[in-house]
Amino acid sequence: GPREGRVGDGAAALRLLIAGDSSAAGVGVAHQDAALAGHLTRELHRHTGAAVHWSLHARSGCTTQRVHELLRAAALASADVALLVTGVNDVIEQVPVQRAVRQRAALADWLLGDGLAGHVVFAPLPPLHRFPALPEPLRRVMGDDARRHDEAMARWAATQSRVTHAHVDVDLDASAMAADGFHPGEPVYRCCGSAFAEHIATRVWPTLQEKRR
């Protein structure tokens, strides 16, 4: 179910929505402190000095379309930034690339148009070709699909004024992953949380602050 919390004090407040699939939910670690939400919100507070009020709506197995349905069914408060972690299940369920991009666009347009987010950040798809749990040739095939999905999403996001596509350079050797070899372990969540926090703090937060003045 949904979770929420607050990290730090500050003269400014940053309201953050995190939504998506199992990686947003924190599958692979025992507590949210060790998951994406924990690392991201602590790093965001450190970078911005703002009090970070966060809410998490995520469920394992969600495609982009199902993330949209999950959020529409939730009573969402307005957020400054929405971080959407979605795409792996689009690849697994063989959603065509352009359809997946249209579904991401529909989700972002709804969040922005209804005032539920001031800016939408899409997390990149992970390099599935390096997932230890996937056997060859499936690993290579899914990796190629994930790359195509991610490149198409990045091209689309580059045309939008209030949507960005984050970049993460993460090492996915077996020691960084959860025991199942498919979900992130704490090292991956820490790396992604740090990268997303830097992206939001440098590329998104200053613009939102400017609009508030």
Continuous segment of H or E residues that includes residue 140? helix 138-157
Place of tokens 């299940």: 89
**How much is the pLDDT for 174?**
67
- The pTM (predicted TM-score) of the whole model is 0.94
CA distance 199 to 169: 13
List Cβ neighbours of 164 (8 Å cut-off, separation of 6 or more). Answer: 119, 120, 121, 122, 157, 199, 203, 204
Continuous segment of H or E residues that includes residue 149? helix 138-157
**Cα–Cα distance list, 97 to 13, 37, 110, 145, 154 (Å):** 36, 27, 20, 8, 12
Nearest in space to 161 (alpha carbons), one of 109, 209, 98? 109
DSSP per-residue string spanning 95-107: --HHHHHHHHHHH
Which pairing describes strands 117-122 and 79-85: parallel, antiparallel, or unpaired?
Answer: parallel
DSSP 8-state code for residue 166: -
CA distance 67 to 72: 9
List Cβ neighbours of 128 (8 Å cut-off, separation of 6 or more). Answer: 88, 91, 134, 139, 142, 143, 145, 146
Nearest in space to 52 (alpha carbons), one of 2, 17, 3? 17
Stretches in the chain below the pLDDT threshold 70:
1, 171-174, 213
